[in-house]
Every structure is written in C-alpha cells, then in structure tokens.
Structure 1
Amino acid sequence: MKISTKGRYALRMLLDLAEHQSQGYITLKDIAKRQGISKKYLEQIVIALNQAKFLKSNRGFQGGYQLNKPAKEITVWQILEATEECMSPVACLNQKENPCPRRSECSTLWVWEGLNKVVQEYLKSITIQDLLDREFESNIDNYII
C-alpha cells in the first residue's frame, strides 16, 4: 500500500480547516498558500471530501469550507479511504469477499490480512483532533523567549 499525494494533501487540508475553524469558512486559496499545495489540486480533492461529507461549503464573499463534524470524529482512516483507490496491502484484499481462487490454500494470506488489520486499526485510532493536539504540544515545546 502506498498513500498517494491526494490522500496526504486531503489530510493536510482537513487539518488546516480544523486549525482555523474559529475563523469561519476558509477559502481554498488560503489553504493552498499555507500548505504549499496548488489550489487546482485542492479543487480536485474537495470533490472526494464533499462526497464523504467531511466538508460544508459556503459560496460568495465570505465563502469557503469548514469541517462538517468535529475534528475528534474524523479519523485518518476515513480520510484516506475517501481519497485513495485502494487501502489494502495486496490485491486479493481489495474487495469485501476475497475473489482469489487460491485463498483456501494460500499460506501467506493470513500475513496480508494481519497487516491490513493492523494498518486499519492504527489509522482508525488517529483523529484530526489528535493531530491538532500533537501539533499544539510540539509548538509549546518549541516556545522561545
């Protein structure tokens, strides 16, 4: 499994929205500038994030995007699942029911199923709020007078 740029940028975008949620709706232009990501690319990512119902949007002068639910309710797994084509470590686990004709005699299937389970559990255990909290803690540790 390899996480694409789309998945990584989606995570950064939602983290940025969470960081600036007190400012109301945030424009893609502002996110793009802060994150060093092309606005055009963010426009593509927004489609997947809207379909997954992570965002609410507002058009017009004060338009932009906000998180549709609290940061503590959005996991890294959910974001990657919404933006990545496949989250499985091997092709035979891409579907709910394993279509491989060798699955009943495959000596290595349990390795890939175990890896898949560990990755899912780990990514499901981390929320956007966890990332915010960690960033806040690291900024406190770097405070210089």
Structure 2
Amino acid sequence: MKLTTHTDYALRLLIYLAVRNEEMPATVQSAASHYGISAHHLAKVAQTLVQLGYVISLRGRGGGLRLQRPAEEISIGALVRQTENLELLECFGPESTCPIEPGCRLKGVLWKAQQAFLAVLDGYVLADLAENRQELRMLLGSPG
C-alpha cells in the first residue's frame, strides 16, 4: 500500500513538531524548508491536521503550529485512517460495478492485508517515531 503525499507530509509535520522545543511554535515555512518540500502543500496538510485536532494554529506575532495533544496520545493508525482513502479497489466502495464481485475472493484477501497493515500502525504513537529526537533534530538542521 502506498500512502498519499498528504499523509506522508502529515506524518513529517507531526514528527517535526514532536522534536521541536515546546517553547517556540513552528511555522509551515520552517518545516517545509527543513524537509525541502512545498510550503504551499504543507500549509494544506497543516490545515487538515488542525481540523482533525492534532495540531493547534497560533495566530499573530510568535504564532505558528504546536501539537494539540501529547505525542504519546497521537496514534499513527488513527491518523492514516483519517487522511487516506482506504478503498483499495472499486469493490471496497458502495458503487462497485465489478461483475465478479459476488464470487471474488480478492476483495477479502486485500481487506485482510489492509487490516494487518493498519494493526501494525495502531501499535505506534507519534512519540515512538520521535524517540530519537536528537538525531532527528540534527538531520533536520536543529529545528527549534
């Protein structure tokens, strides 16, 4: 399964926020710069994370982004479920037109594989991805 760029950037932004100093909010521009990615695209991702309750956006001078809850409470599996379209095939949705769907076993096999994938992600929280905080800070050019 390949994750979308949106989910990839969401995970990157959450990691970035988790390894920063808590005293200073991060800006989309600084995160995008450290990762070498589009600030415009990352701003859309940040907006999604605000709407989903993972990130808080602080306005005004000294504003920016912060985690809305502790990294220990942010489930990677939950985030992926909220940011990905998990309909791997047309038959996963309600509008399937596949003529063999009633007798096809592929859907069941792929559903089972997807559940195993999500179960692994459910075993991790953001804090697990940011455990090596010092190394990540160094790789990102010491953000915050």
TM-score range relative to shorter protein: 0.7 to 0.9
Give the match for residue 126 of structure 1: 124
**In the aligned structure 2, how far is the partner of 1:54 from the partner of 1:47?**
10
**In the aligned structure 1, how far is the partner of 2:106 from the partner of 2:60?**
55
CA offsets per residue over residues 38-62 of structure 1, 9 Å max, x none?
Answer: 2111111112111211111111111
Give the match for residue 73 of structure 2: 73
The TM-score, its normalising length taken from structure 1, stands at 0.78
Which amino acid is the alignment partner of residue 93 of structure 1?
Answer: F
**In the aligned structure 2, how far is the partner of 1:120 from the partner of 1:81?**
8
The answer to whether the Cα contact below 8 Å between 1:89 and 1:115 also exists between their aligned partners in 2 is no
Equivalent residue pairs, number: 136
- Residues 115 and 67 of structure 1: CA distance in aligned 2, closer, same or farther (over 3 Å): same
The answer to whether the Cα contact below 8 Å between 1:49 and 1:82 also exists between their aligned partners in 2 is no
2:109 corresponds to which of 111, 121, 124 = 111
Unaligned runs of 5+ in 2: 137-144
Give the match for residue 59 of structure 1: 59
Corresponding position: 1:46 with 2:61: no
Give the match for residue 140 of structure 2: none
Question: What is the RMSD computed on CA atoms of the aligned residues?
Answer: 2.6
Which amino acid is the alignment partner of residue 34 of structure 1?
Answer: H
Query: Displacement, 1:94?
Result: 4.3
Query: Displacement, 1:103?
Result: 5.0
Query: Displacement, 1:123?
Result: 1.3
Give the match for residue 20 of structure 2: 20
Give the secondary-structure state (helix, strand or coil) at the position aligned to 1:79: helix
